[in-house]
Structure 1
Amino acid sequence: MSNDKGDYLTDGLRVAVHHKQMLDQLGSEHDEQRHSLDAAINSSEALLRRLGKALPVKDSSTSNSLHVITPVRTKSWEEILAEAKQAIPGEVDFNDVLTPAEIDAVSAKHQKLGEHLGWLGSLDRYDVALAVSAGILSGLIDIFLVQVPAHPGFLGSPASEGGWLSNKVKELFGEVLPPEKIKELEGLYKVSFDPSTSKGLEEAVAGLGPRTHRYQSLGHDPILGFIFGVKDVLCGEFTAIDKFGNVIVQQTAAPLLEGEHFIIRLLEAIRKVGGHLASDVATSAGLPAPLMPLLSFFQFGTIGKQGYTIAEVARQMYRSGYDLRHFIAASVPLAISELIVRLGFMVRKLNAGATLAEAFPNAAHPQLRRQLLIAHGVAGVINAGKVTVTSNPLSISWPLVLTLLRYGMPEMMYLIYGQEKERAKLVETEIMDDYRAIHQELDTQLKMLPHIVI
C-alpha cells in the first residue's frame, strides 16, 4: 500500500469506482435474470391453470444438514488495485462513485470541520468581552497616565509637562544613569556612527544636527543598532538617513580590530554598540523609539498647516521628546492588556481540561492572537480619538502601531493561506479515518468468512 496519502486516496477512489461498476453490472444482470425467471414462473402457472391443474404447494421445511462453505480466498490490496487500474486506466473523481446529493452532503460535513478556524468559530462572548475590557483599560491608561512627552509645543499644539508615566520612566532612567555615569560610558564606548553634524564628513547628511543625529543614525536605533551599528563599528562606517529619505554610508574611522579573528571583532563590536546606546539613553534627547527612524522613508503626506510629510513629522516628534523612554512608558498599557488577555486565555484552557503545555499562551495560537488583536484594536481606536481631540501627533502610540503590525500580519497570512490549509488537513484526516474504519470492517468480515455455514 502506498505511503503517500494523496496516492492512497486516489487508489482507494479508483477501487471504489471499479467495484461500484461491478456491483451495478451484477445488479443489472440479477434484475434481468429475476425478471426472466418471474416471467417463466408466471407463464407456467398460467398454463397449469388453463389445464386445470393445481399449483404446487411451497415447501417451507428446511434441511437440517449444514455444510461448511469453503473459505473464500481473499485478494491482496495490490491485486485489487491492479484489477481496478486495468479496468479504469483513466482519471477518476467522486462524481463517478457518488450522486450529486451525496457529494453535497459530504461537502457540508467537511465544511463544518473548519468552522472553529474562523473568527466567529474561534471566539465566544467571554473571549471577546475579556479582550474588549483589556483594550479599554489599556486605552484609558494611555490617555490619563502616558499622555504625551513633555514638550514646549508641537505643530501648533500647546506645551505640555508630559504624562505622569512618561515622566516617571525618564526619572527612573536618570537615577540609573546619572550625568557622571553617562560621561564615563561616552568615554569608554566611542563608535564610528556618532557624528552629530556633517562637519568633517565626506558627504553631507541633510538635516543632521545635535538634536537629530541619533534619529538619523541607524546605529542608534535600539533594535536596528545591533545590525547597522555593529556593521558600522566593524567597518569604521557611518550609516545615516538624511531628511529626504536617502541612505548615506561613508567611512568615518578605521575598522575595529582589523586583522583579529572575526568572532572576537564581532563580540567587541556588540559590546561597543551596547555600551554606546546605554550612554545615550538617558541624555536630554535620548535614543529614538525602536524602528521609528524607518519612517524617514515615508516621504509623503500633508500634515498640519505646514504640510509636513510623515517622515518630517516623525523626525520632529523625536526632536520634541518622543524617544525610547516615552516609548517604554507607552508600552506599559499594552503590556497590561497583554497580561490580562494571556492569563484569561490560559485559565480558560486549563478549566476546559487542557494540559499546561496546551494552555500556554503562545500568540501563534489563532484564538489568542485574535483576542490580542481585538484588545489592541480597541486601544487603537481610543488612541486615535486621543490624537484627534488633541490634534497632536505626539499622542500617537508607536508601540501600539508596532503591536498591531506584529499580530495583524500573521493573522492576515493565516486567513489567506493558513486557515484553508489547516481545514484541508482536517478534511483529509476525516477521509483517512473513514477509510481506516471501512478497512477494519472489511477485515473483520473477511476473517469471519471461513466460519459461515448454510
Structure 2
Amino acid sequence: MDYMNFDKENEQLEQDSANLGEDINELSRNQAECSQRIDYILGQVNDLREKMGMQKLEFKEETTVSDLNMYIEQVFPNNMKTISSRELKMQPMDYIVAALCGGLAAIIDVFLIKIPKDAVIIRNGERIFQEGSSLTGMLRGIGVDENGKASKWITVLEKWFKVPYDKSIDSDIIGLMPKTHRLHSLAHDPSIAGLVWGIKDIVAGTFTCIDKNGCLVVEKVTEANFMKLFTAPILWLGHILSDVFTRMGIPIPGWSYLQLLQFGNFGEKQRTIAEVARYMYLEGYDLRHLVSMSSTNAVIELIVRLYYHLVCKERPDEFVLTSEKEYVEVKNKIKLHNMLFVSYSVASCGNIAKICAYQGNPTAFNLPLWLGMIKESVTQIEILNRNSKDYETATENRHRIDENFEKLYASVMRKELEN
C-alpha cells in the first residue's frame, strides 16, 4: 500500500545527507584556508619580530579563528570610536560655551533691545506701560538737533534728492498718509527690489505702492524722462539716506510686501498679518530697530566663531593625506554649525519668553534672531543629509583599524613582558 512506501522519504533523506556532507566539506576547506592564512600571517609577524630582536609569538595548535577573535575582543571593545572622531565631535565644554553665548544674546535682547520705543498697550481693559529700547533710541537721535528738528544735512539731502514717488497724501489710495507712505511705497524698500522700483518710478515719473487692502497701485505723477536712467540709482540711494533718520524712518527690507498678506487673526483686535506689520512699523519697527536687533546675532557669531577658531578648530598636520585634511575640514564645519545652532536655539527661547513678558506685543519679536535660527536649522538638515557620509565612514574605519592594531600590539608586548 502507498502509505507503507517509504522510498520517497528515504530518497529525500539521502539527498539531504549528501548536501549536508558537501556543506561540511566546504566548511572544512574554508577552515583549512583560514588556518593557512593565520599561519602565514603569524610567520610574517614572527619574521618582523625576529628582525627587531624580539621573541616569536606562539599559538597553540588548536587555535582557531574564533579563538583569535575572542583574543582581539579582549584587547579593545567592538564599538570603540576613533580618537580622531571623538576630538572632532561636540565636547561638553563646547555645549556649555554655545549655551552661555545664546543666554548672553537673550539677556541683550530682553534688557537692551526690548521694543522699539515706549508704548502703552491695553490687555483685558488694563493699560500697561512698556519701556522702549535705549539702543534704538540712540540711533533715533542721529539726524536730530537739540531742538528736536531734522539736522541740516538731512534737509540738504531731501533738497538734492527729490523723487516723484515721495507722495504722502492721496485720498484715492487707501491707508496712505504721511506716517505710512514709506511703508506702502515700494521704492522706499531698502533692498535690491526697492532699487528696481525706484529706478522705474524715477524714469517713468510714477508712484507705485501697495495700499492698505493689499492692492497694487500705480499712479502717474510727472512726465517720463528716460535720461534719468543713469542718475536714478544715485537719486534713489540719496533719498533713502535722507529718510533713514527721520521720525518714521524707512521700513525693514521686504516689510512693504507684507501688505499683500490680507489674512490671519491675531490679538484682541483680530488683526491680519498686513495689519500687524502696519502696526509694528507705526510703533517704530523700522530699519534702525533692525540694526539694534541684529546685535544679538553679532554677539552669537562673534563669540562662537572666536571660540571655535581659538579653541575648537582642529588643524591637521601639513604632511598628511589630502583626504585626511578634507575629512578634518568637514568635521570642523559641522562642529561650528552645531555650536551656532545651540546658541541660536537658546537665544530664540529667550525671545519667546520676552514676547510673553511683553504681553504678546509683536514689536518684541526679534526678526534677525529668528532668521539666524532658520538659517542654522536648514544647515542642520543639510548636515544630516550630506553626501559625504560614506567617505567620512571610510576615513573613520581606517582610523579605527590603525588605532586597534596599535592597541593590539601594545597588549601583545605587555603580555610578552609579563611572561
The normalised TM-score by structure 1 is 0.58
Q: 1:125 aligns with which of 92, 96, 104?
A: 92
Alpha-carbon distance in 1 for matches of 2:365, 2:120: 15
Give the Å deviation of 1:427. 6.3
Give the Å deviation of 1:381. 0.9
Contact conserved, 1:145 with 1:166, CA < 8 A, in 2?
Answer: no
In the superposition, relative to structure 1, how do residues 429 and 381 fare at CA in structure 2: closer, same or farther (>3 Å)? closer
Contact conserved, 2:143 with 2:154, CA < 8 A, in 1?
Answer: no
Alpha-carbon distance in 2 for matches of 1:243, 1:292: 13
Alpha-carbon distance in 1 for matches of 2:266, 2:213: 16
Give the Å deviation of 1:383. 1.0
What is the aligned length?
Answer: 309
Work out whether 1:164 is the aligned partner of 2:134. yes
Match of 1:303?
266
Give the Å deviation of 1:222. 1.9
Identical-residue share of aligned pairs (%): 32
In the superposition, relative to structure 1, how do residues 239 and 348 fare at CA in structure 2: closer, same or farther (>3 Å)? farther
Give the Å deviation of 1:182. 1.6
Alpha-carbon distance in 1 for matches of 2:238, 2:309: 38
Q: 1:196 aligns to what SS in structure 2?
A: coil
Aligned residue identity for 1:422: S
Aligned residue identity for 2:198: G
Q: 2:388 aligns to what SS in structure 1?
A: helix
Match of 2:358?
390
Alpha-carbon distance in 1 for matches of 2:299, 2:129: 29
Structure 1: tracts of 5 or more residues without a match: 1-26, 32-108, 434-454
Match of 2:101?
134
Larger Rg: 1
Q: How does 1:44-193 map to 2 (within 5 A)?
A: 122-154=89-121, 156=123, 158-174=128-144, 178-193=150-165
Q: 2:285 aligns with which of 316, 322, 340?
A: 322
Aligned residue identity for 2:156: E
1:2-36 Cα deviation digits (max 9, x unpaired): xxxxxxxxxxxxxxxxxxxxxxxxx99xx8xxxxx
Work out whether 1:213 is the aligned partner of 2:181. yes
Match of 1:422?
388
Alpha-carbon distance in 1 for matches of 2:213, 2:377: 29
Work out whether 1:409 is the aligned partner of 2:378. yes
Q: 1:194 aligns with which of 166, 183, 199?
A: 166
Match of 1:353?
315
Give the Å deviation of 1:429. 8.5
Work out whether 1:287 is the aligned partner of 2:250. yes
Q: 2:209 aligns to what SS in structure 1?
A: strand
Contact conserved, 1:376 with 1:400, CA < 8 A, in 2?
Answer: yes
Work out whether 1:380 is the aligned partner of 2:348. yes
Give the Å deviation of 1:218. 2.1
Aligned residue identity for 2:303: I
Structure 2: tracts of 5 or more residues without a match: 1-24, 30-77, 319-324, 399-419
Give the Å deviation of 1:155. 5.8
Q: 1:158 aligns to what SS in structure 2?
A: strand
Q: RMSD of the alignment, in Å?
A: 4.0
Match of 1:229?
198
Alpha-carbon distance in 2 for matches of 1:173, 1:368: 40
Alpha-carbon distance in 2 for matches of 1:244, 1:408: 34
